[in-house]
Structure 1
Amino acid sequence: MTVALRDPDSGATYYACMAADESIALGIDLTKQLGEIDELVRQGQEAVLAAMPAKLRDWMTSRGHDPAASWIEQRFTDIILNRGHVSVTEEMLAQLKV
């Protein structure tokens, strides 16, 4: 079902699809994951570093990357583009050479 949302100030109309069934559950889950990232960022860099896999943190640091920023970017990618699926797997971590 398509919903028309009209902006009373500009008169512009925006169209969106109403969520149904699995999309509702996915939306709830993605919102929860984004909230968790927001909370980590609010707690500061040390909380972000503590939340990420240690081997990945060490690998990023050894290559001159900012591990906290890289981890947040990775989590946003997982949440937004991968529909909440974590793409950094244990198998991937096992292949990292620090």
Structure 2
Amino acid sequence: RTLGEPLPSETQAHINWETDEAFELAWDLGLAPEIDIKFTKKDKFPFYKILPNDELRKNYIESYQNRNGKYVNVEVTDEKGLVKATLTELNSDESPR
């Protein structure tokens, strides 16, 4: 099982995206270790009963709204807003590269 997402490897060779025709990508993976723990009837574990309060409910609702909301075009955003853009590199005469 993989933990997290693959990360670009520190051993990755430099790639010149404009001239190289073939290249290899190197990634580092975090793999979950196999764990085999034997529990006995003598082992005791705490049982936590968490009662949601108004603040916890509010945080969950905001989290769901942020993840499942819809995209709308606006002129101004706040610190939680997502900005989606298409960037184009320009030549010195401001024509697209």
Q: TM-score per shorter chain, which class?
A: under 0.3
TM-score after normalising by structure 1: 0.23
Higher helix share: 1
**Which structure: larger Rg?**
2
